[in-house]
């Protein structure tokens, strides 16, 4: 059997990165950037005034001048006025370009005007270069502002706009078919008999993929009939980049998924992982580089395997930088005697000094998905011990 780290490595070694597509800046938020973005101009592009007030030559101030003749008014968006110092000033607005020859801004609050001259308060503190955001002090023209592989949020969209990027290269979302299998399943709005259950895994998988913005999703539900599965999965495989199945991968007489996938030419990479829950997980690749994840149907297993293996694989397809591990500490002792890695649902709280504390919320069984509601995710407790004492650090995987 494969252990958790091997499973992760085997998947990462096989997952291809998508090509790229061009996206309008209007639709860029949430996309994964696939090109380096360089500064169009120095940032800021000119010496930018940061206060409403007057622009002066600081040597006038040093020479004791406190009253200045107004030589002009310059707003944001005006070209720089020609400025001749010696007792003169320019009335200036925030965002304006520093007038040539000026090197000091005195805020309007420290001045009073009479006719064409402006007096500065006697007790005003005035320093050379004050209230000026110097050209190029944030970034120089041509320097890299954004690296490929980042998820574009509001600050990055602002940077793209500032760099004149109306269109950018991003990752297209992989097309993922979510396929639930099982004769017992009925959909949310269908009549239901005593021996049936409502299908929830497909909804949870779709919700996760949407929440993490890693795929476009279609859902299908298949009965446990081998030839029906064969033709339906063949078609879905042709139409999609990735398949995620739930159910039918264990040892039951109707667990046809592995044999169907192999008959469709999907090469088995591993089947079963030394973990609980989610031990029966199956992963394979087809010769056209499409990944197939067949997850056990028990809903807690499905969610844990999706989170631990499928989401990172989809992020890798998108060319996203890998997530930084988030480490939290157990709030209480946890006993787990099976020689398997243990994925334990938790609620995370934060101490005043910034430590994440994971409160165990074990489910009754891997079928008890109702107990997952309200949890933040799960921690991974590696094999090799029976007792994880309170305070043990563990990696958190958020839903």
The option from ligand AMP, Mg ion, none interacting with 296 (CB < 5 to 8 A, set by class) reads ligand AMP
Q: 153: cis peptide before it, omega within 30°?
A: no
Number of H helices, E strands in the chain: 8, 28
Position 278 contacts ligand AMP (CB under 6 A): no
The least CB distance from residue 383 to ligand AMP, in Å, is 23
The least CB distance from residue 38 to Mg ion, in Å, is 53
Of 357, 380, 361, 356, nearest in space to 371 by CA: 361
The least CB distance from residue 187 to ligand AMP, in Å, is 10
Span of 48-56, 144-152, 240-248, 261-269 interacting with ligand AMP by CB under 6 A: 240-248
Site for Mg ion in 164-183 (CB under 5 A): 182
Helix ranges restricted to H, the chain: 4-14, 58-62, 154-162, 201-211, 226-239, 257-263, 299-305, 311-317
Q: Which of 94, 162, 200, 286 binds ligand AMP (CB under 6 A)?
A: 200
Of 398, 368, 395, 355, nearest in space to 379 by CA: 395
Cβ-closest position to ligand AMP: 297
Position 261 contacts ligand AMP (CB under 6 A): no
Position 277 contacts ligand AMP (CB under 6 A): no
The least CB distance from residue 200 to ligand AMP, in Å, is 4
The least CB distance from residue 266 to Mg ion, in Å, is 19
Span of 31-39, 68-76, 203-211, 297-305 interacting with Mg ion by CB under 5 A: 297-305
Task: State the binding string over 170-189 for ligand AMP (x if CB under 6 A, else -).
Answer: ----------x-x-xx----
Residue 97, number of CB atoms within 10 A of its CB: 20
Span of 98-106, 243-251, 266-274, 338-346 interacting with Mg ion by CB under 5 A: 243-251
3-state DSSP assignment of residue 52 = coil
The least CB distance from residue 311 to ligand AMP, in Å, is 18
- Kindly provide the residue ranges of all beta strands, DSSP E only, lying in 264-340, ordered along the sequence: 267-271, 275-276, 282-285, 291-295, 326-330, 334-335
145: which residues sit within 8 A by CB, 6+ positions away? Answer: 37, 38, 39, 43, 139, 159, 163
The radius of gyration computed from the CA coordinates of the chain, to the nearest angstrom, equals: 31
125: which residues sit within 8 A by CB, 6+ positions away? Answer: none
Site residues, ligand AMP (CB under 6 A): 180, 182, 184-185, 197, 199-202, 246-248, 250, 252, 296-299, 367
């Amino acid at each position: 059997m494969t252990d958790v780290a091997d499973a992760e490595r085997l998947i990462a070694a096989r997952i291809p990165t998508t090509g790229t597509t061009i996206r309008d800046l209007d639709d860029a938020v949430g996309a994964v950037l696939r090109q380096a973005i360089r500064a169009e101009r120095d940032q800021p592009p000119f010496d930018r005034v940061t206060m409403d007030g007057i622009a002066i030559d600081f040597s006038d101030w040093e020479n004791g001048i406190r009253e200045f003749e107004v030589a002009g008014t310059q707003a944001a968006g005006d070209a720089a006025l020609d400025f001749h110092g010696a007792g003169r000033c320019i009335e200036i607005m925030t965002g304006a370009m520093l007038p040539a020859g000026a090197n000091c801004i005195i805020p309007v609050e420290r001045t009073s005007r009479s006719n064409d001259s402006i007096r500065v308060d006697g007790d005003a503190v005035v320093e050379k270069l004050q209230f000026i955001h110097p050209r190029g002090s944030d970034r120089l023209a041509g320097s890299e502002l954004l690296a490929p592989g980042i998820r574009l949020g509001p600050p990055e969209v602002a940077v793209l706009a500032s760099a004149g990027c109306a269109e950018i290269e991003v990752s297209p979302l992989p097309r993922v078919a979510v396929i639930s299998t099982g004769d017992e399943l009925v959909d949310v709005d269908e009549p239901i008999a005593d021996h049936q259950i409502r299908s929830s895994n497909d909804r949870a998988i779709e919700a996760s993929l949407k929440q993490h913005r890693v795929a476009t999703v279609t859902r299908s539900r298949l009965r446990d009939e081998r030839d029906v599965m064969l033709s339906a999965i063949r078609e879905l495989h042709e139409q999609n980049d990735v398949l995620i199945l739930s159910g039918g991968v264990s040892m039951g007489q109707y667990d046809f998924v592995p044999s169907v996938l192999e008959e469709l030419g999907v090469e088995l990479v591993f089947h079963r992982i030394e973990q609980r829950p989610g031990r029966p997980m199956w992963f394979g690749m087809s010769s056209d580089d499409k990944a197939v994840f067949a997850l056990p149907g028990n809903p807690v297993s499905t969610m844990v395997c999706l989170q631990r293996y499928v989401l990172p694989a989809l992020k890798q397809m998108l060319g996203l930088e890998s997530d930084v591990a988030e480490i939290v500490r157990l709030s209480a002792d946890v006993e787990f005697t099976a020689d398997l890695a243990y994925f334990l649902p938790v609620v995370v709280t934060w101490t005043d000094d910034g430590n994440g504390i994971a409160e165990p919320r074990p489910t009754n069984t891997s079928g008890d998905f109702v107990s997952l509601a309200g949890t933040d995710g799960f921690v991974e407790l590696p094999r090799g011990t029976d007792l994880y004492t309170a305070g043990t650090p563990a990696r958190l995987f958020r839903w």
